[in-house]
């Protein structure tokens, strides 16, 4: 494509989806396009610092005090953290449904502002990475692209475990009860939101036997990021506008070097990150940090927004926020909450994982990593100290796994996911028609 076009990216107000869109947006910007990010006000300046234009919106009324990026969800997670100790079946009513309701409320509140932004920019395409629909996108009349940066269990199929269940793919015994509880806890708010979407120009939502879809499939192009080696076998193929990307890893913004006091030590190098939201559970983070201090290994800790409350030890280094893309190639093992971006980036770089999931698709990623033999899933609050330390030592010593991950990393790297996504988005703009496989 030779003509410069205006492309709007609208990611969910969290670092994972935002970073996912940044990687693709950079490729399109390098090709000469005007890239504008629609972001929550708490993210103001974050994308401008990376060279993009911004347009600001809110998911609710402005607070009395300034917010850090993603503060809305940080507060929400901290308030509901006790629920993470419960089963995923119990979480449906006590955490998942309230989360969806908060998302619905935000989508309703933001819709008029989004319509203003799209009218002002008149974009050639809108690219959104959200788990919930925003009717202003379909109502704009512009070609739009849906990116899924969650575990692909979000894309329902009879052979795939229910989304956010964390259930094994090979054992369907609990699926029916989970889906029935999903219906009981979610149906009323789904139909309320579906009516709102229809009234505001988006008639694409659906509720089938496998549960509700709170966001529509794009008629133009749909992308999801998940390596083939861990993707789910499906009973029914996805529609022709769906394209899988093995990863959408972005280039590092800045270099990162291991501090001298750790370069001089022996031991494997471990990266610990529970994400910007999971790290808000300071007691969990401190337990992990203290336990890792008893090992012979060196540890890089992404401390999150409450960094000042987490105390590190001599074999550790860390900050509130770290340049993960620059760090992952250097480490030997990743301990993660199972966020989709961290999981796919770790696999891109061929790193084994220990996954301590908290909520949402993290439980699905944890189960998938465990059942495909690429790492271990542990009980986030119930693991015994020796379970974690033994898992670390066993994964680091597993030479067949290292060879398997190395081969996977080499294959994924060759697929150039961000460039492939950019090619497909440009095709939507040029043709104005669905881009099919």
The answer to whether residues 246 and 305 belong to one domain is no
Model pLDDT, residue 2: 58
CATH number at residue 361: 3.40.50.2000
In a domain, 301, yes or no: yes
Model pLDDT, residue 250: 78
The answer to whether residues 229 and 272 belong to one domain is no
The answer to whether residues 36 and 136 belong to one domain is yes
Confidence category of residue 110, pLDDT binned at 50, 70, 90: very high
Distance CA 296, CA 293 (A): 8
The answer to whether residues 22 and 111 belong to one domain is yes
> How high is the mean pLDDT of the chain?
93
The answer to whether residues 420 and 301 belong to one domain is no
Burial class (CB in 10 A: 0-12, 13-18, 19+), 228: exposed
For 358-381, how does the pLDDT look when each residue is reduced to its tens digit (9 = 90+)?
A: 999 999 999 999 999 999 999 999
Residues ≥6 apart with Cβ < 8 Å to 264: none
Pick from 29-38, 99-108, 245-254: least confident = 245-254
Q: Count how many domains the chain has.
A: 2
Distance CA 165, CA 211 (A): 12
In a domain, 344, yes or no: yes
What average pLDDT does the segment 382-391 reach?
A: 97
Confidence category of residue 67, pLDDT binned at 50, 70, 90: low
* Percentage, residues of the chain above pLDDT 90: 82
pTM of the model: 0.93
Of 305, 193, 194, 328, the C-alpha closest to 252 is 328
The answer to whether residues 326 and 424 belong to one domain is no
In a domain, 169, yes or no: yes
The answer to whether residues 36 and 165 belong to one domain is yes
Model pLDDT, residue 74: 67
- Angle of the 417-431 helix axis to the 399-415 helix axis, nearest 10: 30
For 313-352, how does the pLDDT look when each residue is reduced to its tens digit (9 = 90+)?
A: 999 999 998 999 899 999 999 999 999 999 999 999 999 9
In a domain, 363, yes or no: yes
In a domain, 147, yes or no: yes
The answer to whether residues 33 and 179 belong to one domain is yes
The answer to whether residues 276 and 144 belong to one domain is no
Q: 267: domain range?
A: 260-414
The answer to whether residues 154 and 197 belong to one domain is yes
What average pLDDT does the segment 129-143 reach?
A: 96
Model pLDDT, residue 281: 86
The answer to whether residues 152 and 278 belong to one domain is no
For 165-187, how does the pLDDT look when each residue is reduced to its tens digit (9 = 90+)?
A: 999 999 999 999 999 999 999 99
For 237-254, how does the pLDDT look when each residue is reduced to its tens digit (9 = 90+)?
A: 999 999 999 988 877 778
Contact at 8 Å (CB) between 180 and 187?
no
């Amino acid at each position: 494509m030779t003509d410069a076009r205006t492309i709007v990216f609208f990611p969910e107000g969290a670092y994972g989806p935002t970073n996912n869109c940044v990687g693709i947006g950079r490729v399109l910007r390098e090709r000469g396009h005007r890239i504008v990010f629609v972001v929550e006000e708490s993210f103001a300046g974050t994308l401008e610092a990376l060279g993009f234009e911004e347009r600001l919106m809110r998911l609710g009324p402005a607070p009395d005090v300034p917010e850090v990026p993603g503060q809305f969800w940080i507060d929400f997670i901290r308030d509901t953290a006790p629920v993470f100790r419960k089963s995923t079946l119990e979480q449906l009513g006590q955490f998942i449904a309230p989360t969806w309701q908060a998302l619905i409320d935000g989508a309703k509140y933001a819709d008029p502002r989004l319509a203003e932004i799209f009218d002002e920019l008149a974009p050639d395409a809108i690219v959104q990475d959200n788990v919930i629909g925003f009717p202003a996108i379909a109502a704009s009349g512009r070609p739009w692209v849906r990116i899924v940066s969650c575990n692909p269990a979000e894309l329902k199929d009879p052979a795939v475990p229910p989304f956010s269940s964390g259930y094994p793919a090979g054992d369907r015994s609990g699926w029916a009860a989970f889906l029935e509880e999903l219906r009981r806890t979610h149906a009323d708010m789904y139909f309320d939101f579906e009516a709102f979407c229809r009234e505001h120009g988006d008639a694409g939502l659906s509720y089938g036997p496998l549960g509700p879809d709170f966001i529509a499939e794009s008629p133009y192009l749909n992308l999801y990021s998940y390596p083939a080696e861990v993707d789910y076998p499906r009973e029914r193929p996805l529609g022709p506008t769906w394209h899988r990307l093995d990863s959408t890893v972005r280039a590092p913004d800045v270099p990162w070097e291991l501090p001298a006091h750790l370069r001089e030590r022996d031991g494997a190098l471990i990266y610990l990150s529970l994400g910007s939201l999971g790290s808000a559970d300071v007691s969990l983070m401190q337990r992990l940090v203290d336990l890792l201090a008893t090992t012979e290994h060196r540890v890089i800790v992404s401390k999150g927004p409450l960094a000042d409350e987490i105390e590190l030890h001599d074999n550790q280094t860390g900050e509130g926020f770290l340049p993960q893309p620059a760090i992952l190639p250097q480490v030997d093992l990743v301990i993660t909450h199972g966020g989709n971006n961290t999981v796919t980036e770790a696999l891109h770089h061929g790193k084994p994982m220990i996954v301590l999931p908290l909520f949402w698709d993290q439980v699905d990623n944890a189960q998938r990593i465990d059942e495909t033999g690429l790492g271990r899933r542990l009980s986030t609050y119930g693991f015994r100290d020796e379970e974690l330390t033994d898992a670390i030592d066993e994964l680091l010593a597993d030479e067949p796994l290292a060879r398997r991950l190395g081969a996977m990393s080499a294959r994924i790297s060759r697929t150039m996911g961000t460039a492939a996504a950019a090619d497909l988005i440009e095709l939507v703009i040029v043709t104005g028609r669905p881009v099919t496989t």
